[in-house]
Amino acid sequence: MNQLEQVKQFLETQPANHRVVEMILDEKKVWVKRKQPLENWRDYYKVIVTPGLKREIKALQLLNRQQLPVPKLIVYCDEFFASEDSGQALPRYLDENSLDLTQRERVFYQAGYALAQMHQQGFAHGRPALRDICWDEHKITFIDFEMHSGKPCSAWDQSIDLLIFLHGLYYSLEDGAPEANAAIQGYIDNQGYTRFTKLQKKVAHFAWVLPLLDKLKGIAGRDLRQATPALKLMLKNWS
Ligand SMILES: Nc1ncnc2c1ncn2[C@@H]1O[C@H](COP(=O)(O)OP(=O)(O)O)[C@@H](O)[C@H]1O
Ligand SMILES: [Mg+2]
C-alpha cells in the first residue's frame, strides 16, 4: 500500500474532530493535518478566517524548496497532508520545566537564528506563536503555515513576525528577558543586523502605545501586559 493510502486508512480510525494527529508511517513518526471538520459555528468561522489546508500545503512546498527550517512534506492530497516529525513544540519544554536557563537561551538563540534565515530569503511565517515552533534537541523547525501568504513578504510582515514571537516568549516566560535577548542575538548573528534595524524602524511606529499599555497594566490581562517587554526589546539599541 502506498503512503497516501496508509494515511487515508489511518485517518478513518481517528475521531473526526482530531484534526492534527501523529502516526507511524514506514517506521517514522509523522504528523497528519486534515481539513477542518465543520461541526459547529466555530469551525465555520475558522474556515472563513483562515486560508486553510491548500494554502498550507503550497506554503510548505515553497519553503521546502528554499530549504528553510520547515518540516518536509511527505504526502498530500486535497483532504490532508503528512509532514515529518519536528520534535516538540516549545511550550511543552517550558511547561515541563525540562530545560535550564542555559539550555533555554540556546533554544531561543536557535529560534531567532532560524527566523532570520526565513526572513533573509524574503519570507515571513505569518504568526510564529511558540506552539508553532518545534525543537528536536538539535534544530528549530517552524510549523503551521495556515496564515502564510504563500509568497515573499514585506518588512512589515517580518516585523510582525518578530513581535509575535517575542510576545509569545514573554507570555510563556514572564521573566523571559535572558531568553528574549538570546533570541534577538541569534537573529542578528544570522546576517540579520541590517534587517533587524530595518524592522526596528517599522516597530517604532507602535511605540506610542507604550504609555497606554503602562496605564493599563493594573487591569490588563497577561496577554496585553506582555506586549510591553516585547515592544521594548525590539526598540532597544542593539549596536
Ligand atoms: N511536523 C510536526 N512536528 C512536530 N509536531 C507537530 C508537527 N505538526 C503538528 N505538530 C503538533 O501539532 C500541533 C498542532 O499542529 P498545527 O499545524 O499547529 O495545527 P493548528 O492549526 O491546530 O494549530 C502543534 O502545535 C504541534 O504540537
Ligand atoms: Mg498551530
Q: Which CATH number applies to 3-84? A: 3.30.200
The pLDDT, as a whole number, for residue 47 is 59
Query: Of the bound ligands, which one is closest to the alpha carbon of residue 19?
Result: 1
Looking at residue 83, its pLDDT comes to 98
Concatenated DSSP letters for the chain? --HHHHHHHHHHTS-TT--EEEEEETTEEEEEEEPPP--SHHHHHHHHHS--HHHHHHHHHHHHHTT-SSPPEEEE-SSEEEEE---EEHHHHHHHT-S-HHHHHHHHHHHHHHHHHHHHTT---S---GGGEEE-SS-EEE---TT--SS---HHHHHHHHHHHHHHHHHH-TT-HHHHHHHHHHHHHTTTHHHHHHHHHHHGGGTTHHHHHHHHTTT--HHHHTHHHHHHHHHS---
Minimal-distance CA residue to ligand 1 atom 13: 20
Domain residue ranges of the chain, discontinuous segments joined by +: 3-84, 88-235
What is the per-residue pLDDT for 38?
Answer: 66
pLDDT higher than 60, residue 49? no
| Residue 97 banded pLDDT, cuts 50, 70, 90 | confident
Residue 43, pLDDT score = 67
Specify the pLDDT at position 31: 98
Domains 3-84 and 88-235 are alike in CATH topology: no
Query: How many whole angstroms from 32 Cα to the centroid of ligand 1?
Result: 9
Superfamily for domain range 88-235: Transferase(Phosphotransferase) domain 1 (1.10.510.10)
Mutate to test the pocket of ligand 1, among 33, 57, 85 (most ligand atoms within 8 A of CB): 33
pLDDT at residue 174, as a whole number:
85
**Mean pLDDT, rounded, of the chain:** 91
Residue 50: per-residue pLDDT: 56
